[in-house]
Structure 1
């Protein structure tokens, strides 16, 4: 898998890229039409992601776009503005440039991020987004997509003990085996970019 450097993301080590898989998926768009896309995830959650896309397709839960982050120059703001569902992106946490996101390891996925925004007080991302749980493509407590993810061991970003809501976001928890596998090469990358080495243990967003 290719991953070119950009101004919006770091360049991940090859050992991590080797564990990222690109899944071809089908979905229903907001006009009720069949669509296809590609989502890049860590191989350990590939089956879960295939299954949730099958569920969303079956229930006709609409998605705006499913494109890899390379098509947005790894710019999370641009992807959110396009309401693009995505996962892998080797980057730091939103509003915290000292730590890596779980998206960096392909362990997190964002669903319809403009419909299901990040809300922190008066700050809403994507810019101009509003959250309406009754809207098409919106997620809420008890929604079948939310229930599916949590049944597979994912954490939902609107059901955690944090001072912000990340309604679009689901992730599989970090575990020690990931740190053992990736720590050395990721630390090299972080050192080159003068990022806090504690960032090897990622945060959700």
Structure 2
């Protein structure tokens, strides 16, 4: 009897259920793969109708331990933000924010210079943010950063993920927000492959954020090329 091995890992699952450039939130992923899912219970048992000569291969499911870690990690973030959701005030939100120093490249007289930058984010995302920017810094592009924004309390409260420190904007002038009809709403012009400050779809920046489950705003109804959020 054949025995098939199905490996379920963090990144393999994320890639399987991704839609375009948007990854499902981890809680949605958990619901899809939750043991005892009701959909599985409604599948009829046709085993008796099969010929006795037909052998059904056994499937051994091997789950990457990191998968459980990321599910737990997302739940911790939800718990940490619960009082922010219940009490959407600037005073409450800011208590959960920390400043993170990250390595970056800057352009000076056409040369890329090693430097540092600080960005304010949700405390539970601090280590991931450090890891993301370290990967960008060490990447072959040596992507230059001249402007970096994170936590920013806004009057519309929690409709913006910047208000809970779960969004980061990079080089807004060169990575604008554009309406569906092509009007530039924020920033100036996106020129990937021409302007070194513009983020490219297959470049180091997008890859580093995607590995940690962040979504790039390029796929939004209002394309937001500067924006990444968790």
Q: TM-score range by the shorter chain?
A: 0.5 to 0.7
Distance 1:145 1:22, change over 3 A: same
Give the TM-score of the pair, scaled to structure 1.
0.60
Please list the CA deviations of residues 137-158 of structure 1 after superposition, one character each: whole Å capped at 9, or x if unmatched.
2213222221221121111101
CA RMSD of aligned residues (A): 2.1
Aligned pair partner of 2:95 in 1, 7, 18: 18
Please list the CA deviations of residues 34-90 of structure 1 after superposition, one character each: whole Å capped at 9, or x if unmatched.
2222110001211121012112222321001xxxxxxxxxxxxxxxxxxx2110000
Structure 1: distance between partners of 2:157 and 2:211: 31
Higher relative contact order (CA 8 A, sep 6+): 1
Which contiguous aligned blocks of 4+ residues in structure 1 show a shift greater than 4 angstroms?
Answer: none
Distance 1:106 1:151, change over 3 A: same
Give the TM-score of the pair, scaled to structure 2.
0.54
Structure 2: distance between partners of 1:11 and 1:29: 35
Kindly state the Cα deviation for residue 113 of structure 1 after the two structures are TM-superposed.
Answer: 1.2
Structure 1: distance between partners of 2:221 and 2:153: 24
- Please state whether the residue corresponding to 1:104 is helix, strand or coil: helix
Higher helix share: 2
Structure 1: distance between partners of 2:93 and 2:157: 20
Unaligned residue ranges in structure 1 (runs of 5+): 1-9, 65-83, 173-205
Structure 2: distance between partners of 1:102 and 1:111: 15
Report 1:51-200 matches (<5 A).
Answer: 51-59=131-139, 60-64=142-146, 84-92=147-155, 97=156, 100-120=159-179, 121-127=181-187, 129-134=188-193, 135-159=195-219, 162-172=220-230
